[in-house]
Amino acid sequence: MSGGTPSTSATSQRRKQLRWRREQLHQFIVNETFIDLHRSRARALYVASWQRSGSTWLAEIVASMPGTRLLFEPANIRQHLTTYGAQPRLNLLPLSGPGSQLGKDGDMLSKALDGSLRALWMDQMNTTRVATRRVVKDIRTVAILPWLVDSFPEVPMVLLLRHPVAVAHSIIELGWVGGPRYKAAVGLQSPDPAGDEAAPEPAVIDRAARQRMLIYEVSLWSAHHGWAMAHPASARLHVMFYEDLVQEPTAELDRLHRYLADYDPVWSEWLPQLESLRQPSSTSFRRKEAGAGGWIDSWAGAYDADTLDEVQRILESEHLEGLYGASPVPLIAGDAAIDSVRGSLGRPAAS
């Protein structure tokens, strides 16, 4: 009926739309009302890691120092640099290396490092209003770390490592798996031409499927980290182990401070707020784990001995056996990680 009173449904829809617009405006004001005018990339710290490795926690600790802007995953769209083929996530052909051009993505990363890039996604965790330094964290750039190190020699860069079994276990537990192509790559089923299906609920993934998913995820982790850490350009990376950061946070942050001292003077005054060490990150999914041990050993008893033996063979094939073994904690200190991988290159890989 024309000319009448708008229906209750239409009125409700308009109210929802107005609320959404107000929320968007509030989010814009909260996240985007800051000043970041120092365009030197040397004022940025770049933190690279695999997903579920604790990089958000580390970035928030770094950004707890007043005047530090946090840029959250500006390279999160990096999927088109890889191919899907038989593997639904990351295919290693071709790998980017120093001197290769990343096009618009390379420009975006450069702008993130110099502070000129602004977006609600990247600034969602920023709390500073006047930035004098910045920390940029990503979970999609391990395979291009040599290019980044080579392209931005003035930028301090951290590679944060976590045991690949813990990483893979977290991915599986959160249900970040599924779809016909994923299952085909893992060997669970053939691709379904009808299209991707929803990821299975973690509770309904049986034990055998978990073992195969774990091996698949560990293989991806190992291939990327093995290649990146063995590259000569990666020698100046500062490697940190998540497990060490959890167990010895003060010592690890002191080590980070000493590394940063060799770069721009703006980092010489950096000191994190101690209370930030006790706070879980904004992307934490910790459940019953009440202490540091639970945060590290989340996968105890979840996989059989044969699966863990296969994990070790995968690590050996990528020259990573010196970093992690059957224990949930690293085998060496972060300062020795790069040398361990490169030193292993001269030894035969596991068959």
Alpha carbon distance 120, 109 (integer Å)? 16
pLDDT at 204: 57
With respect to residue 158, please indicate whether it lies within any of the assigned structural domains. yes
β 157-161/133-138 pair status: unpaired
Residue ranges, the chain, pLDDT below 70:
1-7, 20, 23-32, 76-102, 181, 189-205, 276-294, 346-351
Which domain covers residue 147, as residue numbers? 34-344
With respect to residue 14, please indicate whether it lies within any of the assigned structural domains. no
With respect to residue 16, please indicate whether it lies within any of the assigned structural domains. no
pLDDT at 174: 87
With respect to residue 90, please indicate whether it lies within any of the assigned structural domains. yes
The pTM (predicted TM-score) of the whole model is 0.81
Give me the number of domains the chain comprises. 1
List pLDDT tens digits, range 68-85.
999 999 886 454 444 333
* 153 touches 287 (CB < 8 A): no
- Token code pair at residue 215: 């091996």
Where residue 68 falls (left for φ over 0; alpha for ψ -120 to 50; beta otherwise) is beta
With respect to residue 190, please indicate whether it lies within any of the assigned structural domains. yes
Spatial strand order of the sheet with 133-138 comes to: 68-72, 133-138, 44-49, 157-161, 238-241
List pLDDT tens digits, range 261-298.
999 999 988 888 777 666 666 666 554 555 566 678 88
State the CATH number of the domain containing residue 73.
3.40.50.300
With respect to residue 4, please indicate whether it lies within any of the assigned structural domains. no
With respect to residue 84, please indicate whether it lies within any of the assigned structural domains. yes
List pLDDT tens digits, range 307-342.
999 999 999 999 999 999 999 999 999 999 999 999
With respect to residue 27, please indicate whether it lies within any of the assigned structural domains. no
